[in-house]
Structure 1
Amino acid sequence: MCAITATCFIIACIDLITLKMQHLNENLESVKELPQQQKKEKLVWCVNYHVHIIGLTEEYNNIFSNINAVHFTLSAVVMVLLIHQVLHEMVLKQAVQLCGWFFIIGLSCHAGQKLINESFSVSQTLYFLDWYEYESQLKYYIKIIMVRSQKELSITAGILNQYSYQFFHRILQGAYTYMTVLARYK
């Protein structure tokens, strides 16, 4: 039950940051229709909002990265043991539990991948703003956001892992590897 609660919290945090990125994109898209003075105000607001989102992501990673790493490590161990039980005893309860673990880990990684994709979409949104027609100060604000959006925003689990489809694949690979090691010592 604790793992489900932790996963729901992780997904909620990731979705909050993703929604903020979508909100930023919507505000950037609305800059086109504004008069010159309002464009400047809106872009300054967007720069500050982007800094806020980056800070929120970094703060989350500073606080929860190690906890996320422990969560995923233990989840992989539980999945290995469940796979082992399912293959040897064919108990429906363990099979359902295993499907649940795959689902919650996959859902977390899917939410992380959405955040990564949304963070890259900011620079695409800026590119289609017709920025080359703006005055130099507005171009400066656009450059600030573009440069910052080149580095993807992601939620990490430990030092090297970030929530993504690739991370989910590595978890499945690890579970399979440990399961084959357990099968040898049957």
Structure 2
Amino acid sequence: MPIEMRSFARSSLDDDERREVEPVAMLADHLRDELAEREAAINQAHVVNAPSKDIQDIVAEILTDELGFAQEVVLTRQDGIVTHARPDFVYSLSPGRGVMAEVERGGTLNNNHDLKDMWKAHIAQDVQHLFLVVPNSNWTRTGGGREKPYPRVLNRIGAFFGTPRREVDVLSAHVFGYGWLSLEAAGQLRPDGGS
């Protein structure tokens, strides 16, 4: 399965916000292209019981080396909110304006990491945009499908956009779907070695 991407933006943007959203969308397109170039490596790393760090390392190479993101930056604290948010990656657009990128794997849905990431972007005073990199599918030990995070994340994150009543303090969100496990690879993962 190829690298997927879907973007969301607030329904009404002023001129400054519109000017900011455009280069962020171009940055997202660049990330998608770079992920597509590394699709084989991502697919090879996205196997049952592999550490999520394997995927994060591939994405980190793109975000830090190619796109200029910083890794593990502690965001500015908010008055009255107890948090020391430290996203996987942050890109500064200008003072107090930025993009947060998070790479998820197994806990995307069952631990609500996608919603936690949206919350983190919402409350961060120096982040207005979210890049969320999630699996297209996750698999059981026997190679069967367990869940499909990417389409569910699209529905969950998309719920925060579209009408002013539902929108939060995030100007845009870009969700990337990665990883495919072939039947041959799934057969190699079975405890009996069968296919």
TM-score (norm 1): 0.30
Larger relative contact order (CA 8 Å, sep ≥ 6): 1
**Greater fraction helix:** 1
Q: Which has the larger radius of gyration?
A: 1
